[in-house]
A and B are shown apart, each in its own frame.
Chain A
Amino acid sequence: MDTRLLVEDFSAWYGQTQAVKNVTLPVYASQVTAIIGPSGCGKSTFIRCLNRLHEVIPGTRTRGRVLLDGQNIYDDKVDPAEIRRRVGMVFQKPNPFPTMSIFDNVAAGLRVHGLPPGTTAEEVVEKSLKMVGLWDEVADRLQDSGVSLSGGQQQRLCIARALAVEPEVLLMDEPCSALDPVSTLKIEELIKGLKEKYTIVIVTHNMHQAARVADYTAFFLNGQLIEYGVTSDIFTNPRDQRTEDYITGRFG
């Protein structure tokens, strides 16, 4: 299986506090990888290091390498903006741009990076909205504000916005934690459909969600990667006592 992202001996800090400790982990192409663990275990920080978003917070630093298709994204010569185009991100709370219409929200990334050759903005927006199953719901009101949609629709709009610039990897930081069960189900179905084309890394504090959508699961505790493997193995046959304690609900 192809390795899309290879994290090597990676650490991350907020000031003096080390949030991610010497993590080494391969992320396989066209698979869904879930990061689970209790609150404050560094799973969100970790995923924010995969598109170099951790460094925009003042006082933070990192050490180690993250290879995207063999290229270290922390190399001095690498432009973080280009990495963030190739590694898209969806956040915990839906965050559509409030001053923009639904159409402009999806097209926002295209305005930055330019259109793929031979396409129009209309085509890309339609394709992206269809991929997240939002097209039929919004096709007749593309000029309405992005914040006029419901929470679940807003989150799918944000996914469409991330997909419009054709990333290779999609990072999802607890994408369902602000959503109701029906919207959550829709997003989970969406994730399963997207993995053919994209490599997906999803942070979740919901173990059932990890079990439902992920091919691989990594368990984090106190900034360390405790266990990583095929999801069914992690949940039915964990090798580490701490993993077993967590998934059986003894803590966290």
Chain B
Amino acid sequence: MIAGRDQRRKFSNKLMLVLAAAATVLALLPLGSILLYVATKGLLALNWDFFTQLPKPVGEPGGGLANAIVGTLILVGLASVMGIPLGIMTGIYLAEFGRGRLAWLVRFTCDVMTGIPSIIVGIVVYGTIVVAMKRFSAIAGGVALAIIMLPLVTRTTEEMLKLVPNSLREASLALGASQWRTTYSIVLRSAMGGIITGSLLAVARVAGETAPLLFTALSSRYWHTGLDQRIASLPVYIYTYATTPYEEMHRLAWGAALVLVAMVLVTSIAARLAGRRAGGGR
């Protein structure tokens, strides 16, 4: 009787373990195959020319996407310069100073903005900046990406600052430090690792955005000539080249996909490392 119950318990224990393991494998399968597929297809496209040459006109073989790589770096750089400081400042306001209705409104807006499809952000930036400037531009693309980053950076900053124990704030205030000084040199420094991680993950997130760029930065076959001019980017090149009927362009699109995945991967790993290094002090 007791032996039977024991066996049943052991059996169900094993069964659940097998099920959980199977679910994990099933979940990793598509992720793994995406990486593998992109890697095998993409590696064939990568050569020296890919990183140094401009795209060739339709029908001509060879060429590269050097302008799109540089363009993506510029766009993500622009977005970071605008989005990260603003997001961190807003997060500081929410965590350290914000009380009452205004803070509630900012928090609620951030939550809604995280869920807004990125194409809507593109349309709004098109309707405002692009229409006003009467042309597509790197600036407009950067603004669109920054708007997508903003709520991510804000909320991570707020969460990280809230993890800093109140006793540290009081210790600093009790020394006669002002509230701003306490926030800056005690609270912010203690939470820096987490904030860097969150910001880099937001960078990785927008690096692959395509939809908002179609309305804002558009694309370009040439090197970028100014921030007020349209600019090439990897995601938009993947989109346009993959929808053409030409084998050569498909090849380049796969190459672009691999480079983009690698960029995102490196950023994510850097984010984890930054978090772990700064987290050690806590």
A31 to B192, CA, bound (A): 42
- Which residues of A are found within 8 Å of B282, using beta-carbon distances? 98
For residue B270, CB closer than 8 A to chain A, the reply is no
- Which residues of B are found within 8 Å of A53, using beta-carbon distances? 170, 173-174
User: Using a CB-CB cutoff of 8 Å, which residues 225-251 of chain A contact chain B?
Assistant: none
Please determine whether A99 and B190 come into contact, CB atoms closer than 8 angstroms: yes
- Which residues of B are found within 8 Å of A96, using beta-carbon distances? 171
What is the number of residues of chain B that contact chain A, defined by CB distance less than 8 Å?
23
Please determine whether A56 and B186 come into contact, CB atoms closer than 8 angstroms: no
Please determine whether B167 and A93 come into contact, CB atoms closer than 8 angstroms: yes
A59 to B276, CA, bound (A): 37
Interface of B is mostly: helix
In the complex, per-residue mask of B182-202: 1 if CB is within 8 Å of any chain A CB, else 0: 000110011010000000000
For residue B27, CB closer than 8 A to chain A, the reply is no
Residues of B within 8 A of A (CB): 99, 165, 167-179, 181, 185-186, 189-190, 192, 281-282
Please determine whether A165 and B175 come into contact, CB atoms closer than 8 angstroms: yes
Residues of A within 8 A of B (CB): 51, 53, 56, 58, 81-85, 88-89, 91, 93, 95-99, 108-109, 111-113, 145, 147, 158, 161-162, 165
Please determine whether B175 and A58 come into contact, CB atoms closer than 8 angstroms: no
Query: How far in angstroms is the closest Cβ of chain B from A8?
Result: 23
How many A-B contacts if CB must be within 8 Å?
A: 69
Given the contacts A58-B99, A99-B189, A81 and B176 also touching, CB distance less than 8 Å: yes
Please determine whether A158 and B173 come into contact, CB atoms closer than 8 angstroms: no
- Which residues of A are found within 8 Å of B171, using beta-carbon distances? 91, 95-97, 158, 161
Q: List 18 additional A-B contacts (Cβ < 8 Å) besides A98-B168, A109-B176.
A: A56-B169, A84-B174, A84-B175, A85-B175, A93-B167, A96-B171, A99-B186, A99-B190, A99-B281, A108-B172, A108-B177, A109-B177, A112-B175, A113-B176, A147-B281, A158-B171, A161-B175, A162-B174
Given the contacts A98-B168, A99-B189, A112-B181, A89 and B281 also touching, CB distance less than 8 Å: no
Please determine whether A98 and B281 come into contact, CB atoms closer than 8 angstroms: yes
- Which residues of B are found within 8 Å of A112, using beta-carbon distances? 175-177, 181
Contact of A91 among B170, B179, B181 (CB under 8 A): B170
- Which residues of B are found within 8 Å of A89, using beta-carbon distances? 174
Chain A CB within 10 Å — which of B165, B171, B176, B189 has the most? B176
A/B interface sample: 27 pairs, CB < 8 A: A53-B173, A56-B179, A58-B99, A81-B177, A81-B178, A84-B173, A84-B174, A84-B175, A85-B175, A88-B175, A93-B167, A95-B165, A95-B171, A97-B172, A98-B168, A99-B186, A108-B172, A109-B177, A111-B185, A112-B175, A113-B176, A145-B281, A147-B281, A161-B171, A161-B175, A165-B175, A165-B176
